[in-house]
Amino acid sequence: MRRKIVGAIITVSAITFAILGYSNMGYTVKSSNPVIKVAVDGCLRTPTSTMLGYSPTRKGVRKRLPHIIGIGSKKCGTGAFRHFLRFHSKVQVSLCEPHFFDDSYNKGTEYYKSLLPWSNTSEYTFEKTPKYIVTGGVPKRIISTYEKEGLPTPKFVLVVCDPVQRAFSDFSKAKRNTGYKTGVVGQFQNFEEYVEYALNKIRTLAPPVTEGVHAFYSHMKELESKIELRFLTRGIYSYFLENWYQYFPRKDFVIVDGDRLLTEPGEVMVKAQEQLGLEVEIGPENFIFNREKGFYCIKYNNTNTSCLSPAKGRTRTVKNGTVLQPKLSKETRRRLDEFYRPFLERFTHVTSAKANWVQRLLHIDPSR
C-alpha cells in the first residue's frame, strides 16, 4: 500500500525550510539569525547543531553515511531523481552535492557526515554527486570509508540518457558559464563546431572504435585528461560503469533511464524504489505535467506541487511525451551516433538496458 506523500513545513523565523526545499528534514532554529544558506566549498551545507543555532528536533537521529549514492551521470537528470526521491517518507536527502569521495576525501568522514542530513535507524540517507562515476579513485575510497565504519557499502543510482543529448546539454551549460567563455569552450561558436574539433582530436589520440571497444578503453585516461574532450567522453557510460563493476556487485546498481524519468517519472520512480528496497510511495498519481516548464512536477499534500528549479530543463524538455532533441545537422547527428554506437552496444550487454534512445542509436526494433 502506498502512503500519502506529506511535505512537512518547518518554520525558520518568518521563512520556512520548505520554501528552500528543506521539507521533511526535521530542523528548528534557536537563533534569530536570518541567514539560512551556508556555503561550504560550493556546497549548501546541511545545518548542524553548531551552525547558526540549528539542532535536530526528532529523537534518535544522527548523521549517517549514505545508504544510497547517486553517482551520475551529469546532465542526465540526477537532480530530478533527487528532487522526486526526497518526498519519500523514509529517505533523508542531502540537498547539495557533497563531492566528498572525489574532491574532499582528505577532509575526513566527519566532514562528510556534516554535509549529510539527520536520519534515524528506520530511514535511508541519500546523496548524489554526478562526478563520482567518472572519478577513478572513488570506488576504493567508498570501500575504505564504509569498512572503517563497519558498515556495508551502499547501493548506487546511475542515471543515464542519450549521450548526444547529454553532450549538447553539458556543452550548452558550459557556454553559459562565465568561467568557460574565455577558456577552451569559448573558442567554439557552437556545439557543431566543437563536435568537429573533438571527434578529430579523439581520432588522433585513440584507435578507431571499430578495432574494439577495449582497445579504445586503453586510451580513455589520456582522453579524459583533455578537459575539452570530456563533453563527449563522459557519455561513454560503459567504460566508467565497468570500472565500478570491478569493486561492487552489479546487483548494487540501479540504472535509471534519464529520458524516461522526464517523460514517465512515476513509472521510473516505482521501479527505482523497488530496486532500492524501499516501500513504493511515489508513483504516477504523484506527478502532474507542467506545460509551461516542459517537465513534470511532483504533487504532495494532495494539492501542493513542487517543481524543479527554473534553471533545469533548458536543453532537455518534454513535448508530446518525448524529450526534445537538440537542433543539429544530420551530418553532426550521424557522426555522434556512429561514435557512441559501439559503446552503447557494450552498455546494453553489461546492463540489459532497453531505453528508447538506446534502441534508436542501435537501430533496434523496440517491439522485439
pLDDT band at 358, cuts 50/70/90?
confident
Q: Is 169 annotated as a binding residue?
A: yes
Q: What are phi and psi of 323, to 5 degrees?
A: -80, 125
Q: What is the pLDDT of residues 121-132, one digit of tens each?
A: 999 999 999 999
Q: What is the CATH number of the domain that holds 255?
A: 3.40.50.300
Q: Is residue 254 part of a domain?
A: yes
Q: Worst-scoring range by mean pLDDT, 141-155, 224-238, 344-358?
A: 344-358
Q: What pLDDT does 12 receive? A: 30
Domain match, 172 and 132 both: no
Q: Residue 282 CA to chain centroid, in angstroms?
A: 18
pTM reported for the whole predicted model: 0.84
Provide the 3-class DSSP secondary structure of residue 31. Answer: coil
Q: What is the pLDDT of residues 79-98, one digit of tens each?
A: 999 999 999 999 999 989 99
Of the listed 63, 75, 128, 155, which one is catalytic?
Answer: 75
Q: Is 237 annotated as a binding residue?
A: no
Domain match, 85 and 103 both: yes
Q: What pLDDT does 219 receive? A: 97
Q: What pLDDT does 1 receive? A: 53
Domain match, 139 and 253 both: yes
Q: What pLDDT does 199 receive? A: 98
Q: What pLDDT does 56 receive? A: 67
Q: Worst-scoring range by mean pLDDT, 226-230, 237-241, 315-319?
A: 315-319
Q: What pLDDT does 323 receive? A: 61
Buried b or exposed e, range 25-64, using 16+ CB within 10 angstroms: bbbebeeeeeebeeeeeebbbbbbeebbebebeeeebebb
Domain match, 157 and 167 both: no
Domain that holds residue 145: 11-161+249-306
Number of compact structural domains in the chain: 2
Domain match, 71 and 126 both: yes
Q: Which of 123, 151, 146 is nearest to 61 (CA)?
A: 123
Q: Which of 350, 368, 108, 351 is nearest to 359 (CA)?
A: 368
- Tell me if 228 sits within 8 A of 167, measured CB to CB: no
Domain match, 145 and 170 both: no
Cα separation values, 353 from 82, 266, 329, 364, Å: 21, 19, 27, 12
* Residue 255 scores a pLDDT above 50: yes
DSSP code of residue 285 = G
Q: Is residue 312 part of a domain?
A: no
pLDDT band at 27, cuts 50/70/90?
very low
pLDDT band at 26, cuts 50/70/90?
very low
Q: Is residue 102 part of a domain?
A: yes
Q: Is residue 324 part of a domain?
A: no
* Residue 195 scores a pLDDT above 80: yes
CA distance 77 to 56: 30
Q: Which of 68, 277, 64 is nearest to 155 (CA)?
A: 68
Q: Is residue 321 part of a domain?
A: no
* Residue 356 scores a pLDDT above 90: no
Domain match, 42 and 79 both: yes
Domain match, 197 and 262 both: no
Q: What pLDDT does 8 receive? A: 38
Domain match, 92 and 150 both: yes
Q: Residue 246 CA to chain centroid, in angstroms?
A: 21
Decide the pairing of beta strands 91-93 and 124-128: parallel
End-to-end CA distance of the chain: 33
Q: Is residue 40 part of a domain?
A: yes
Question: Nearest 10 degrees: CA dihedral of 258, 260, 264, 268?
Answer: -60
Q: Is residue 3 part of a domain?
A: no
**Taking the alpha carbons of 246, 251, 252, 257 in that order, is the dihedral positive or negative?**
positive
How many other β-carbons are positioned within 10 Å of the β-carbon of residue 24?
22
Question: Nearest 10 degrees: CA dihedral of 112, 47, 286, 4?
Answer: 110
Q: What are phi and psi of 70, to 5 degrees?
A: -85, 120
Domain match, 197 and 113 both: no
Q: Is residue 59 part of a domain?
A: yes
Domain match, 168 and 156 both: no
Domain match, 122 and 26 both: yes
Active site residue 221: no
Q: Which of 12, 8, 44 is nearest to 30 (CA)?
A: 12
